[in-house]
Amino acid sequence: MTFNDLGLSEKVLDAVQQAGFEKPTPIQEQAIPVALQGRDVLGIAQTGTGKTGAFVLPMLTQLEKGRARARMPRTLIIEPTRELAAQVADAFTSLGQNHKLTMALLIGGVSFEDQDRKLGRGVDVLIATPGRLLDHFERGKLLMNGVEILVIDEADRMLDMGFIPDVERICKLLPPRRQTLFFSATMPSEIQRLVNSFLKDPVRIEVARPSSTAANVRQALVKASSEAKAKRETLRGLIRGAVELKNAIVFCNRKRDVAVVHRSLARHGFNAGALHGDMDQHARMATLDSFRNGEITLLVASDVAARGLDIPEVSHIFNFDVPTHAEDYVHRIGRTGRAGRSGTAWTLVTPAESKYVRAIQSLIGNDLPWEGAGGELAEEAPRGGRGRGRAKDAPHSKGRDRGGKAAPAKEDRRDSAPQTRKAQLKEPEAAAATDMSGDIRPEIAAASEFERPAPRAQSRHPKQRGNEKSGADTVFGESEYVPAFLLRPTRASSK
């Protein structure tokens, strides 16, 4: 089947030919004819399967009739991230070159006033992230009762980012008689609920088994140390030893790790750039352009920043962290092996990340092989064993967690010195007896560090406490060691 068989207009077919597209992808082949009929579409396809073309091409054909009015867009496309929204805008610019359609892009990091001016002139296509769209609506700058076609793209990513309440609100603001094109890589229960609420008798189009990875991508696990520095060294070794590495994306779970790994790679001579959610729009687009053009070989990124990146030829993926959500593994691997090309994906695994690997293997339906010797998943810890497991690490800690106090086992605390001044005033004899045992000195040392008593207190002791009752001999006992809190003057309790 060719694009000529899908029912697209001549203007769209000419733009497709000029863009160099020869054959529709499976999702385009099935979704475009249904969309042109005005039916709702539920498309389940992985990233990189041509989903953008599946809604852009029929939308261009449908928009050839009619015209936009001020602040009343005819079509609305909701994307989870600024990068995805910008890429869809680029697709409209390229494929809509033969149309006199107006378009506005509502994303953060861009002048609000410029966006408002475009809306005031009227737009046929409005592409937006949920937050910025609602900002314009709440300021009275946007009317959504004229939307004829709604596209919700990367719905599962919106779920991960917490945008579903915003999406639900937006859907309720739109006219009920509209066409909805809904795309998602996976279908968790919350997404299915959204589909049931806002789509009318949709045609379900599934071009690949959900949560499957491309067969032409070689995947492997690599044993890594829990120590951050050693783990980064393992990553650098993998990159140096990679075969036919043209470019690569290094995924981290957290923004701060993106910055640390990027600095580490740059410091060791690698040509690397970083991409994370806190970057302003200009810096993000500049980094992406440098990566696409080959000026940057390695792109260190978080999942949110890299979701849906339109980079056709990525040879390698390095998962510095195992994703905590199994679906994110599928999205990461989808960055390589596109359009029939081969790809390679390495995942560094620490013992603590074994449970996430098990979840991934359960999702994709097969076990991932290990690269090198000694690779195996750590056994799952029994329930309720966390306290004992942490106690093993106690000797190696600095003793400053949770306020700087040591954390002995509960049974040891029964023999320890009183922990509060109130207890010290009420039970001096018990405190003295505890001190005489000699076993509690590490605990007292920790308490003393927290309270930081002045060393000169010992020199004041003979003067200030010499006239006390003979019970003082019992307090001090046979040991010359005197806890700091016992050197402080106290009031005699009245009985």
Whether 103 contacts 155, CB under 8 Å? no
pLDDT at 109: 82
DSSP state of 370: B
> First vs last Cα of the chain: how many Å apart?
99
Whether the pTM exceeds 0.75: the reply is no
pLDDT at 21: 85
Per-residue pLDDT of the chain (495 residues; tens, 9 = 90+): 899 999 999 999 999 998 888 889 899 999 999 999 999 999 998 766 788 999 999 999 999 988 888 999 999 999 998 888 988 998 999 899 999 999 999 998 888 999 999 999 999 999 999 999 999 999 999 999 999 999 999 998 898 889 999 999 999 999 999 999 999 988 889 999 999 999 999 999 998 654 566 778 999 999 999 999 999 999 999 999 999 899 999 999 988 899 999 999 999 999 999 987 677 778 888 898 899 899 999 999 987 666 656 677 899 999 999 998 887 888 888 888 876 788 999 999 999 999 999 999 998 888 999 987 666 787 765 544 444 444 333 334 333 333 343 343 333 333 333 343 444 434 444 333 333 333 333 333 333 333 344 444 444 444 444 444 444 444 444 445 556 666 666 666 554
Task: Output the six-digit token pair for 297.
Answer: 């070989």
Condensed to tens digits (0 to 9), the pLDDT of residues 147-178 reads 999 999 999 889 888 999 999 999 999 999 99
Whether 57 contacts 16, CB under 8 Å? yes
Number of Cβ within a 10 Å radius of residue 361: 16
| Domain extent listing, the chain | 3-206, 217-364, 404-487
Q: Do domains 3-206 and 217-364 have the same CATH topology?
A: yes
pLDDT at 331: 81
What are the beta bridge partners of residue 220? 346
Q: Give the CATH number of domain 3-206.
A: 3.40.50.300
pLDDT at 68: 86
Task: Output the six-digit token pair for 82.
Answer: 């600024």
Listing DSSP states for 70-131 in one string gives TTB-SEEEE-SSHHHHHHHHHHHHHHTTTS---EEEE-TTS-HHHHHHHHHH--SEEEE-HH
pLDDT at 89: 93
pLDDT at 178: 96
pLDDT at 465: 44
CATH architecture of the domain with range 217-364: 3-Layer(aba) Sandwich (3.40)
Whether 274 contacts 301, CB under 8 Å? yes
Residue in 189, 150, 156 with CA at minimum distance from that of residue 45 = 156
Number of Cβ within a 10 Å radius of residue 119: 21
pLDDT at 157: 85
pLDDT at 137: 96
pLDDT at 173: 96
Whether 277 contacts 255, CB under 8 Å? yes
